[in-house]
Amino acid sequence: MADDLTDFATLETIARDLALAAGRLIVDERPVGLGVAATKSSATDVVTEMDRRSEQLLQDELTRRRPDDGLLGEEGASTVGTSGITWVVDPIDGTVNYLYQLPAYAVSVAACTGDPSQPELLEPVAGAVYNPITGELFHGHRGGGAHLSIREVTQSLRASQEGDLSLALLGTGFGYEAQIRRRQGALLAELIGDVRDVRRGGSAALDLCSVAAGRLDVYYESGLNPWDRAAGQLLVQEAGGVVRIEDEQPGRLMVIAGSPALVDELAPRVTTR
Ligand code: IPD
Ligand code: CA
């Protein structure tokens, strides 16, 4: 166990270094008049050249520092390693915010254990999420707690323990396909009168960090991919929150994260099968 913790701490250091390097790249080398390089599931699901360059940097650094590990990245990086560790990376989470220069996007880097042929079941053991605009670096490893560093100052994070839904600040997000968004909007309309208020930040990785930091009492979103949630999920758990992942349809998962009582209460209301 002690060895595991030492190893997880080493993986956290690497996650931090990589998130910082990629975060600096997407700010420092953002071209003037950045445009959309490609679209994915719909015309609004965009990729910029900086998503690709950020993922390339993460891949190059991991190949250099951890040649035996696997890698799964949002923009297509996919290698199977031999060490038992798979890195799950989102080179820019909140790409639409990035495109519009809204200051809520991040690089998310997680080291995971488990079977890489079932990425939705990978277990994060170390991770970092970096917002290069605010300078906030969220980081942690299994058994080591969750932390927020801003420049030289580091603090421990504690998730909300709120038990009353009517007092809860609720976060959520929406997918990129119109039909799915309509359903997600209808579900939110049912909930909005039962909570304190609602926030939609535009980066699932940062939403989960907000849960870890107690800035949101609870968060749910359907259709997240492993790269959106891997690092943030670990940080919520390390901060004393709960993350529940429910199967909806094949290939579609509902993630609910927050205080233990609110996750219990919300899970049956938001999960649709
Ligand atoms: C998206 C963001 C958004 C969430 C979407 C994600 P991307 O990731 O995390 O907040 O609502 O489900 O796909 O496309 O910006 O990397
Ligand atoms: Ca993402």
Q: Which atom of ligand 1 lies at the shortest distance from residue 224's CA?
A: 12
* Ligand 2 is an ion; residues with CB less than 5 A from it: 90, 93, 228
- Closest ligand to C-alpha of residue 255 is 1
Residue 166, pLDDT > 90, answer yes
Mean pLDDT of the chain: 95
Average pLDDT over residues 145-167: 97
What is the CA(248)–ligand 2 centre distance, in A?
19
Residue nearest to ligand 1 atom 2, measured at CA:
203
Pairing mode of beta strands 169-172, 146-150 = unpaired
Run of H or E including 208: helix 204-212
Q: Which two tokens stand for residue 72?
A: 């799964």
Give the pLDDT confidence of 189-203 residue by residue, as tens digits.
999 999 999 999 999
Cα–Cα dist 112/8, whole Å: 10
Cα–Cα dist 4/64, whole Å: 22
What is the CA(108)–ligand 1 centre distance, in A?
12
pLDDT at 189: 97
Identical fold between 2-156 and 165-271: no
Give backbone dihedrals phi and psi of 124, rounded to 5 degrees, phi first.
-70, 135
Give backbone dihedrals phi and psi of 15, rounded to 5 degrees, phi first.
-60, -40
Q: Which atom of ligand 1 lies at the shortest distance from residue 95's CA?
A: 15
Q: Which atom of ligand 1 lies at the shortest distance from residue 97's CA?
A: 15
Give the pLDDT confidence of 7-23 residue by residue, as tens digits.
999 999 999 999 999 99
Cα–Cα dist 157/134, whole Å: 17
What is the CA(162)–ligand 2 centre distance, in A?
27
pLDDT at 5: 61
Which CATH topology does 2-156 take? Answer: Fructose-1,6-Bisphosphatase; Chain A, domain 1 (3.30.540)
Cα–Cα dist 136/155, whole Å: 11
Eight-state DSSP code of residue 33? T
Which residue in 227, 71, 215 sits closest to 136, CA to CA?
Answer: 215
**Residues flanking ligand 1, CB < 6 Å:** 74, 90, 93-96, 173-175, 202-204, 221, 223-224, 228
Average pLDDT over residues 131-149: 98
Domain boundaries along the sequence of the chain: 2-156, 165-271
Cα–Cα dist 69/146, whole Å: 23
Which residue in 88, 91, 93 sits closest to 112, CA to CA?
Answer: 88
Residue 244, pLDDT > 90, answer yes
3-state SS assignment for residue 199:
strand
What is the CA(93)–ligand 1 centre distance, in A?
6
Cβ atoms within 10 Å of 115's Cβ, excluding its own: 11
Q: Which atom of ligand 1 lies at the shortest distance from residue 45's CA?
A: 14
pLDDT at 1: 46
User: Under CATH, which number does the domain 165-271 receive?
Assistant: 3.40.190.80
What is the CA(36)–ligand 2 centre distance, in A?
16
pTM: 0.96
pLDDT at 172: 98
Q: What letter represents residue 195's amino acid?
A: V
